[in-house]
Amino acid sequence: MALWYFAFVVGALVSLATSWLLVTRLERIGERFGFSEALLGVVVALAADAPEITSAIAAIGQHERSIGAGVVIGSNVFNLAALLGLGAIVAGFIALHRRVVVFAGVIAMVIALCATLSAFGTLDASASLGTCAILLGVLFVGLGVRRDALFHFHLPKGVARWIAQAIDEEEIELAIAIRPTRAKGRDIFLAPAALIIVVIASVAMERGASHLGHHFHIANVIIGALILAAVTSLPNVVAAVYLAARGRGAAALSTALNSNNLNVVAGLLIPGSIIGLGPPNFPGELTALSYLVLTLAVLIMAFALSGLNRRAGAALIIAYVAFAIWLVAVS
């Protein structure tokens, strides 16, 4: 049993520490190759999500589907409370452009809905993956292309102009929040090396948590949706609180929502389409529904207030605590 304690603790520490190295190197590589600030923010979110995604895939690959799904969806619930809720409390107020809230929020809500329907068994994982992949493709194209190129996609001029303005507003925020140095030759080699270490350490962490949980008769959904979800989300929490404290509202929102979007696609729907998500269960459905409802609550408050204040932040944290207590009670 001591071996599994060691695997969990050391795996968590190495995974989280190395994920920071991975994030900084990918930032520099993106700067070298001329990524837009908004697209760079997505790349950074993907790198910071490596522990969650790897842990989820490792669990699903071991046929512990409730742990794998719990890591992804539980991380998303935790992200909304910790990244945005705690960020708003620390900063006092996270100012947000309403166009940014709508642009990012529509995509986030549809992906959250797909994840929830998949958890309930209403929508097949492959169908959800197709929908989410199209949305992320639109997001990446919108963030990565020149603004005037949007008008070549045969969108109505008003729609294309509105999307361009939303991306420009997000770029203004992210240009200040994310401005790394250009990558050197060693950074291009360090990034894949860091990714390999993160993957190995995250698998060790997931295996350690699973064995310890089974030894102490802890429900799989608690292992995934609460324990692993919180531990693997720590890099994103620190980054988002730092950005919020600096007044970079769109950057904090982008980190939270893009992290959740990528978690669902890479950590849940892709492996779920290949291996399967397993039969629905009430704790898993509760976690998915909490993710959907909390996402909607964040977007409504952010739009209504043109940001998030301390009361909104406290409400998100209280909602997460209520979710955690309810999940433990029904597991």
What dihedral angle (degrees, nearest 10) is formed by the CA atoms of 316, 321, 322, 327?
A: 130
Specify which residues 93 forms β-bridges with: 309
What confidence tier does 25 reach under pLDDT thresholds 50, 70, 90?
confident
Question: Is the pLDDT confidence value at 130 over 80?
Answer: yes
Q: What mean pLDDT do residues 33-59 have?
A: 71
Instruction: Give the phi and the psi of residue 309 in degrees, each rounded to 5.
Output: -100, -175
| DSSP line for 97-130 | -HHHHHHHHHHHHHHHHHHHHHHTTSS-HHHHHH
Task: Return the pLDDT at 194.
Answer: 79
What does the pLDDT look like over 203-239, one tens digit per residue? 888 888 888 887 788 888 888 888 888 888 877 776 6
Domains of the chain in start order, with CATH, are 2-330 (1.20.1420.30)
CA distance 22 to 25: 5
Q: What mean pLDDT do residues 25-54 have?
A: 69
Question: Is the pLDDT confidence value at 108 over 60?
Answer: yes
